[in-house]
Amino acid sequence: MELTFYWYPKCSTCRNAKKWLDENGVGYKEVHIVENPPSRSTLEDLYKHSGLELKKFFNTSGQRYRDLGLKDKMKDMSDSELLDILASDGMLIKRPFTTDGKKVTLGFKEEDFKQSWT
């Protein structure tokens, strides 16, 4: 199983996740989330398969999220509008964003990675 690992190299959580994947021999394709963010259709497909709430896909601690005032706006927006915004800027996406095309992990928790990717 090869994963797609969307990450931001300056992010310490992303670096920790990458280190875990390497140490556990998990194959992955590395993608810089800002330079090559997942497309809207990819995000929509993975969101639908993930079983996760769409708001979990957002980097709620990020500056762009705060600048756009999304905390207050999200509750009044449709999934379609949220996906459009999410796809517009890789810095809005919770990272690292790891997927095998069906399953998704957002962020890095070692236990989640063990369950999902080994």
User: What is the CATH classification number for the domain harbouring 25?
Assistant: 3.40.30.10
7 DSSP assignment: E
Its domain, for residue 79, covers: 3-117
Q: Indicate the pLDDT class of residue 1, thresholds 50, 70 and 90.
A: low
**Structural domains of the chain, count:** 1
pLDDT (mean) for 33-42: 94
Please, what is the average pLDDT of the chain? 94
User: How many CA atoms does the CB half-sphere of 90 hold within 13 Å?
Assistant: 17
Contact 32/9 with Cβ under 8 angstroms?
A: yes
Query: Which pLDDT value is given to residue 20?
Result: 97
Query: Which pLDDT value is given to residue 102?
Result: 87
pLDDT (mean) for 67-76: 91
pLDDT at residue 65 greater than cutoff 70: yes
